[in-house]
Amino acid sequence: MQNSEFRRDMVSGDWVVIAPKRAARPEQFFSKTKRKQVAKSACPFEDPQKSGNDEPVLFYTDEKSWVIQIIPNKFPILAHKNMCATVVRHGVYDVAEGVGHHEIVITRDHRANFAHLSDVMASLVFKAFCERYKAMQNDACVKYVSVFHNWGPSAGASIAHPHYQMLSLPIIPPDVSRSLKGSADYHKKNKKCVHCAMLDSEIKAKKRIVYQNKEAVVFAPFVSREPFELRIFPKKHLPYFEDTDDVTMKHIVEALQKALLLLEVQLHDPDYNFFIHTAPLENKKKFGHYHWHIEIQPKTSIAAGFELGTGVEVNVVDPDDAAAMLRGDGAKHEKRKTK
């Protein structure tokens, strides 16, 4: 791809500019500098309770010690109360109290991020997500649960020890709302899941597929907002993350580990975020058209005036090239760039 191109996301309706001429070589995005290590003695998550954190709301152990514990965030975005957030008028504005759960999922190993967990531990992390997710959905005030991971300082991780976060919200987030609306509109018009249509197209085209197994697929979206953005979908149509069967979830976890490992190896361990997009908790019959998935966003740039002023993201790496590079198709990548 030589010239810039506008591409429209088939779910959100957002426009993105793919502008590969603005970048030199994709591999130059990421520094080869080794990640700074923090001593265990200075880590507040080595012994969370000794560091002043509350007792875990959920924990798993082996024969020696805890291996995963979930604790209330010591510095929460939202605070849990025995009340629901009510929207009230404040002059011309709508306001609601910041009510919700904010929890931290901590794994025992001080250095092993998700890509380097054992298969058993990685699956256990997702089991913990599901268990707490189902507990939060029993709260009548909760409309949506956000599950995400920040890896590295530029991705928002203030503590180096690998951990994950879960927030229950009294609202459906705007980004999710737009995704739900796009999904519903497409389904009404085409009698098919929009994400299933996307998957069918990507699997048939093959060139943006980074990895797939029996139950899950990893690909660089045709309308990637950021360089090396990846998405992971269950191949079967599943609206709800928390209702995913164990076999499918095991394959999704394996695909996520593979995707993160490829980012680490091919892009010199970049900072990144990953998060889960799933149908909301309310009225499960209403959102059967949706298809839950995981999105991975490596931190490659800072939004500048054009992006902030227009809401149009500029991606300087062709998703085809990004997928080829992550797969390790070095020869193909070099050939494409020298045409």
Spatial separation of the C-alpha atoms in residues 321 and 272, rounded to whole Å: 19
- Sequence-separated (6 or more) residues with CB below 8 Å from residue 163: 45, 104, 105, 106, 107, 149
Of 25, 9, 7, 2, which is closest to residue 17 (Cα–Cα)? 7
Per-residue model confidence (pLDDT) at position 333: 35
Residue 6 host element (H or E): strand 5-8
Per-residue model confidence (pLDDT) at position 83: 80
Mean pLDDT (10-residue bins), the chain, 339 residues: 88 94 63 77 92 94 94 92 86 92 96 96 98 93 95 92 96 94 97 97 96 98 96 98 97 98 93 97 89 95 87 92 87 34
Question: What is the dihedral sign for C-alpha 199, 203, 205, 206?
Answer: positive
- Sequence-separated (6 or more) residues with CB below 8 Å from residue 307: 313, 314
Per-residue model confidence (pLDDT) at position 32: 67
Spatial separation of the C-alpha atoms in residues 24 and 11, rounded to whole Å: 30
pTM, rounded to two decimals: 0.92
Spatial separation of the C-alpha atoms in residues 220 and 224, rounded to whole Å: 7
Per-residue model confidence (pLDDT) at position 272: 96
Spatial separation of the C-alpha atoms in residues 4 and 22, rounded to whole Å: 9
Name the residue type at position 41.
Answer: S
Phi-psi domain of 112 (left: phi exceeds 0; alpha: psi -120 through 50; beta: other): beta
With H, G, I as helix, E, B as strand and everything else as coil, classify residue 93.
strand
Of 305, 302, 335, 307, which is closest to residue 321 (Cα–Cα)? 335
Per-residue model confidence (pLDDT) at position 38: 82
Spatial separation of the C-alpha atoms in residues 236 and 33, rounded to whole Å: 40
Spatial separation of the C-alpha atoms in residues 269 and 133, rounded to whole Å: 29
Question: Can you say how many angstroms the Cα of residue 202 is from the centroid of all Cα atoms in its chain?
Answer: 19
Question: b/e string for 107-123 if b means 16 or more Cβ within 10 A?
Answer: bbeeeebbbebeeebbb
Annotated catalytic residues are 163
Question: H helices of the chain, where?
Answer: 119-136, 174-190, 194-205, 246-266, 305-310, 319-327, 330-337
CATH for the stretch 39-337:
3.30.428.10
Per-residue model confidence (pLDDT) at position 1: 64
